[in-house]
Amino acid sequence: MLGENFGVKKNQTINRRMFIIGAAKVIVFAGIIARLFSLQITENKKYLTLSDKNRLREWRLPPIRGEFLDYFGNIIAGNLKVYQLHVIPEEVEDFKYLMVRLKEILNLNNSEYEKIIRKKNKQKPWETLIISKNLTWEQFTKVNYFLHDLVGAKPVLSVSRNYPFNDKYTHILGYVSEASEKDLLNNEMIKSKHVPGLKVGKTGLEKTFENELIGTNGIQRYEVNAYGKRISQLDYTDGLNGKTIQLTVDTEIQKLCNELLKDMAGSISVMDIYTGEIVAMQSSPSFDPNLFLFGINQDDWQLIRNNPLKPLVNKTLSGLYSPGSTIKPIVALSALENGIINENFIVNCKGKIEMYGQTYHCWKKKGHGVVNLKSAMKQSCDTYFYEIARKLGVDRLKETSLKFGLGEKVLGEIFNNEKKGLIPDTKWKKNNLGKGWVIGETLITGIGQGYTQTTPLQLCQMTAQLANGGFKIYPKIIVEENIKTAEDIKFIMNKNAKNLDEKNNGLQEASELLGFSNKKEHDRLFKNSKNIKLVREAMFASTNEVRGTSYSSRIEDPKYQFAGKTGTSQVRRITQAARELDLNTSQIPYDERDHALYIAFGPYKDPRYALSIVVEHGGSGSSTAAPIAKKLFKLIIDRHELREQTRIQKAIKI
């Protein structure tokens, strides 16, 4: 038995101590309430955001790429519906069984099968695994037939790039393929819109206009659980299609160009001499860009890459060729403009001339005899041009060449592979080769050999600017709004020409002195329009008069009649021994054969189109390149009416 005293003392102690604990409890509870308050009231926004971030996932859908149209509105790069087979591994009960069945049904070979398994192991189980990017209709129906046995496999309809004209537009449009690490790194736009399997432009206009073409992603918002599994779709936003881009190119002419250059390495460019619109631009050989859509297979790639005719190079823009005799109209014009010669200047061609201890040969061993400007141009007499080049000097020749667009990019920054070429002068040689200019180099520059390098498109622009009477044009391949019609441009050109004739126009001279004339649209590129006329007549003679270098390729019907200039550009120096052998083209190894060139414009009476043709190692301009022009001109002129009608319709629409 406890004493009463002890009990009282113990009770006092316990109550006192309980009171202390009770006070401590109040403090602790207050602390917990404060913590609850800070989490739920003070920081509520922060945690609410975090909670939404946890549960909401956005799925970006691939954007639909803008299309390319030709001048007549035909789709030349479109989007095709494709049947794909998707699997979300997480939703498949027996993935192995499914894959084995699919392998059977789709006839996958082992390496394809392993590639899919590797891909599956790389991604998260809830991410869509693309088993096949492009099922054939046959495969698609087969999969649907066996669908009950393929739990988790989803045949879906998707869109993919499609080039309906296969290899006809490859070098203009380029091609698209799956975005690489580098694409993501270099282009913010691609990075921000990237989804697995997104295809982006790799070359050509597809690459240049990537940011306009790409479109915007559609967005699906899902509520997901902690494991990332989609629970429900909250909303869906459609993406916007990329911008449609229309080209100035005519598919029919483009197709013919492709055909004419079949099995040859070379290029054709066709241009409207007033509007600067590129009507056709073909580089040969080409390849089918559709091959790249779903990843090109190794065999096809090797075939393209190892082709000695170099299909991957866009020869129209990046091919650098000595212009050969096609430069002669510019040499002649430069000499006339600088008052070195007049139309009656004559030279006696003996087949070669000796100068400063060197022998310079004319292409015709026997010589042309006494020739004036017109007959020298007609027969492409080298001796005549050696002589006038010597008198003119390379620096004045360069001035004229630059005026007509040589040595500069024709389309600016539209193609990243376009080259500037090279128009040499004395200063250039000193700065770049460290040696003084030799007069002999002037002579060979006068017949388009030596250092001079031009692209086929530059030659085409040069021809166009000669054909329109010597006025500047602005080449373009994209159809823009508010473009001037050929008539508007002709009117501006006439005005510019008149201003020259009326020398008494003081205001004009004053503004020219102040440098305003430089900014004038479609400015004249000549001092005297008579000189242009002479050069054009000489080019006409070259094609349409007996003994002209391209006489055999002439068309007599005035509707199609064109004027042109052949060119044969040496790939290597002709040795004395070779000159004496005088071999036929077919007897020379392919790599050593001359390039065949031809420039032309027509119809001669009222010119509208200019073209340039280059056939690599084609032998001579008159035998290989000029006949192509003959076939091409008929179609170009026949298509003209339709082109004009389309232009009017477009103008009305705008």
Partner 1 sequence: MQYNSFNTQQTFFQKLKNLDYILLTCILLLGLISSLSMYSTDGGEILFHSKSHISKFLIFFTMMVFISFLNIKFWHYFAYVFYIAILSLLVWASLYGIKSSGSQRWINLYFINLQPSELMKIAIIACLAKYYHRIQPNKINDFQVMFIALVILILPIMLVITQPDLGTSILIALSGLVVIWLAGINIKYFIYSFIALLISMPFAIAFLKPYQKSRILTFLNPDRDPLGAGYQIIQSKIAVGSGGLNGKGFLKGTQSYLEFLPEKHTDFIFTLFAEEQGFLGSLGLLLIYIIVIYRVLRIGAISRSYFAKLFCYGYGSAIFFYVTVNMSMVLGLLPIVGSPLPIMSYGGSSMLATMIGFGIVMSANINHKQLIA
Q: Are 426 and 288 in contact (CB under 8 A)?
A: no
The number of beta carbons lying within 10 Å of the beta carbon of residue 316 is: 28
x-marked contacts with partner 1 along 196-225 as a string, rule CB under 8 A? ---------------------------xxx
Q: Is 227 in the site for partner 1 (CB under 8 A)?
A: yes
| Ramachandran region, residue 487 (left: φ > 0; alpha: ψ -120 to 50; beta: rest) | alpha
Q: Is 233 in the site for partner 1 (CB under 8 A)?
A: no
Q: Is 370 in the site for partner 1 (CB under 8 A)?
A: no
Q: Supply the minimum distance, in Å, between the C-beta of residue 92 and partner 1.
A: 21
Q: Are 578 and 365 in contact (CB under 8 A)?
A: no
Q: Is 23 in the site for partner 1 (CB under 8 A)?
A: no
Which of 23, 37, 297, 572 is in the footprint of partner 1 by CB under 8 A? 37
Dihedral pair phi/psi, residue 337, rounded to 5° = -65, -35
x-marked contacts with partner 1 along 169-188 as a string, rule CB under 8 A? --------------------
Which of 157, 226, 577, 652 is in the footprint of partner 1 by CB under 8 A? 226
- Of the pair 41, 507, the CB lying nearest partner 1 is at 41
The number of beta carbons lying within 10 Å of the beta carbon of residue 539 is: 29
Q: How many residues bind partner 1 (CB under 8 A)?
A: 41
- DSSP codes, 212-255: HHS----EEEEEE-TT--EEEEEEEEPPPPPPPEEBS--HHHHH
Report how far residue 422's alpha carbon sits from residue 455's, in angstroms, rounded to the nearest whole number. 9
Report how far residue 361's alpha carbon sits from residue 529's, in angstroms, rounded to the nearest whole number. 32
Stretch that binds partner 1, among 12-20, 95-103, 297-305, 468-476 (CB under 8 A): 12-20
The strand pairing partners of 268, in sequence order, are 282, 613
Least Cα distance to 250 among 568, 630, 609 occurs for: 609
- Of the pair 34, 433, the CB lying nearest partner 1 is at 34
- Of the pair 234, 510, the CB lying nearest partner 1 is at 234
Q: Is 231 in the site for partner 1 (CB under 8 A)?
A: yes
Q: Supply the minimum distance, in Å, between the C-beta of residue 18 and partner 1.
A: 5
- Of the pair 47, 590, the CB lying nearest partner 1 is at 47
DSSP 412: T
Q: Supply the minimum distance, in Å, between the C-beta of residue 93 and partner 1.
A: 20
Q: Are 174 and 205 in contact (CB under 8 A)?
A: yes
Q: Are 566 and 380 in contact (CB under 8 A)?
A: yes
Region 41-60 residues binding partner 1, contact defined as CB under 8 A: 41, 43-44, 46-48, 50-51, 54-55
Work out whether strand 68-69 and strand 245-246 pair parallel, antiparallel, or are unpaired: parallel
Q: Is 9 in the site for partner 1 (CB under 8 A)?
A: yes
Report how far residue 516's alpha carbon sits from residue 513's, in angstroms, rounded to the nearest whole number. 8
Stretch that binds partner 1, among 31-39, 147-155, 441-449, 553-561 (CB under 8 A): 31-39
The number of beta carbons lying within 10 Å of the beta carbon of residue 235 is: 9
- Of the pair 43, 300, the CB lying nearest partner 1 is at 43
Region 92-151 residues binding partner 1, contact defined as CB under 8 A: none
Which helix (H) or strand (E) segment holds residue 133: the answer is strand 129-135
Q: Supply the minimum distance, in Å, between the C-beta of residue 58 and partner 1.
A: 16
Residues at the interface with partner 1 (CB under 8 A): 1-2, 6-7, 9-11, 13-15, 17-18, 21-22, 25, 28-29, 31-33, 35-37, 39-41, 43-44, 46-48, 50-51, 54-55, 223-227, 231
